[in-house]
Amino acid sequence: MKEKIDSLKGDQMSIKKHHVKSKLAVVYQLIHTPGVADYIPETELLNKSSLQRMIQKYEKVYLKPDRGRKSKGVIRVERLKGNRFKIRYGSLQKYADKKDIWKKTDRLTKGKRYIVQQAIESVTKDRRHFDLRCHLVRIQGQWKVGGICGRLGEPGSIVTTYHSGGTPTPLNTLLTRHLNYSGRKKENMIRRLKECAIQAVHHVSKMYPNLKEFAVDMGIDPKRRIWIYEVNIEPLIRANFKKLPDKTVYRKIKKVRKIAR
- Where along the chain do its domains lie? 2-118, 130-257
Count of CA atoms in the C-beta half-sphere (13 A) of 7: 24
The 8-class DSSP code of residue 18 comes to S
Cβ distance 151 to 157 under 8 Å? no
First to last CA, the chain: 34
CA–CA gap between residue 147 and residue 133 (Å, rounded) = 8
Of 116, 125, 189, 129, give the one whose Cα is nearest residue 161: 129
Predicted confidence (pLDDT) per residue in 84-104, tens digit: 999 999 888 999 999 999 999
pTM of this structure? 0.88
CA–CA gap between residue 19 and residue 26 (Å, rounded) = 11
The CA-based angle 259-256-248, given to 5 degrees, is: 160
Band (5; pLDDT cuts 50, 70, 90) = very low
At a CB cut-off of 8 Å and minimum separation 6, what does 107 contact? none
What per-residue confidence (pLDDT) applies to 69?
A: 67
Other beta carbons within 10 angstroms of residue 149's beta carbon come to 21
Cβ distance 40 to 31 under 8 Å? yes
CA–CA gap between residue 48 and residue 35 (Å, rounded) = 31
- What's the mean pLDDT when you consider all of the chain? 89
Band (70; pLDDT cuts 50, 70, 90) = low
Predicted confidence (pLDDT) per residue in 210-232, tens digit: 999 999 999 999 999 999 999 99
Protein fold of 130-257: D-amino Acid Aminotransferase; Chain A, domain 1 (3.30.470)
Cβ distance 76 to 61 under 8 Å? yes
What per-residue confidence (pLDDT) applies to 138?
A: 97
| Rg (the chain; Cα; Å) | 18
DSSP-derived 3-state class of residue 43? strand
Any alpha helices (H) in the chain, and if so which ranges? 2-9, 12-17, 23-31, 48-57, 101-109, 171-173, 183-204, 248-257
Q: Could you give the angle at which helices 23-31 and 183-204 cross, rounded to 10 degrees?
A: 100
Count of CA atoms in the C-beta half-sphere (13 A) of 31: 24
Predicted confidence (pLDDT) per residue in 151-170, tens digit: 999 998 888 988 888 999 99
